[in-house]
Amino acid sequence: MIRKILTAGTGALALLLAISLTPAWAADGWSVVAAPSDDEPFEAASVTNDAGDNLILWSRNVGGHIQVFAELHPAQGVTLAKAMPVYQIDHRAPIDTDDIRARGDAQNAMWGLTNDHSSFWLVWESNKPVVKAADTLHPWFVGQELRLSVMTHDGSKREMLFPLTGSAAAIQKATGVRAE
C-alpha cells in the first residue's frame, strides 16, 4: 500500500496505523522487520527508543532509482500535528523534512507526509545501491545518534532520540544499499 500511495500521489496513510512490527533480526537495537504495508511483503530497518517511539527505514525501486524513506511512528498515545519533523544526526546540520516534502510536491511526487499517527520522508535516492560519504543517507550508517523534533496535536514539541549504533547492518540488510 505504501508503494501504491507513493505511485498514486495520494495523501492517505491509513495503512501505517496500528501495524505490528515483529523483529526478524537485531543489531544493537536495530532490527529488520516486515515493513508496515498492504503491498507484497518487504523489509525495513527498525529501532524503537526508550519512550516507545519507532523509526524505520525502507526502500523502493522506481524506474531504476532506489529510494530510501524514513518513517516515524510515535509512542502509543502521542498524536502528531500535521507538521513535518526536523532531524539531526550527531552535530551535523538539522534536516527539515518539510523541505524534502516540498521538493517532492514540486515534482508531483510524494516525498513526505505527516498524519496523526505517523510521518514519512525521503532520505536518499540514487541509481546505484552505494551510499557515498556526501549523500544524505551516509550519516544514518556512520552516526551515533539521531535527534528528531516533531510538533504534537496539542501544540507542544516532542523531542525523540534514536541510537544509530547497529543501523548500518540493519539498513543494508533491509534495503540492499551499502555505504562506500
DSSP state of 15: G
Average pLDDT rounded to a whole number, residues 15-23: 34
Measured distance CA(17)–CA(116) in Å, rounded: 9
Would the pLDDT of 21 be above 70? Answer: no
Average pLDDT of span 58-67: 91
| Three cell numbers written together for 24 | 526478524
Q: Which amino acid, 161?
A: L
Domains of the chain: 31-179 (2.60.40)
pLDDT digits (tens, 9 = 90+) for 113-145: 999 999 999 999 999 999 999 999 999 999 999
> Residue 23: pLDDT above 50?
no
Tell me the pTM: 0.83
Give the model's pLDDT for residue 28. 52
Q: Which of 178, 180, 175, 149 is closest to 68 using CA atoms?
A: 175
Per-residue pLDDT, averaged over 82-92, amounts to: 97
Cell of 108: 508531483
Q: Rounded mean pLDDT of the chain?
A: 86
What is the arithmetic mean of pLDDT over 154-163?
96
Residue with cell 526508550: 50
**Is 50's pLDDT higher than 80?**
yes
The one-character DSSP state at 38 is S
Residue bearing the bigger pLDDT, 122 or 39: 122
Distance from the first to the final alpha carbon of the chain: 31
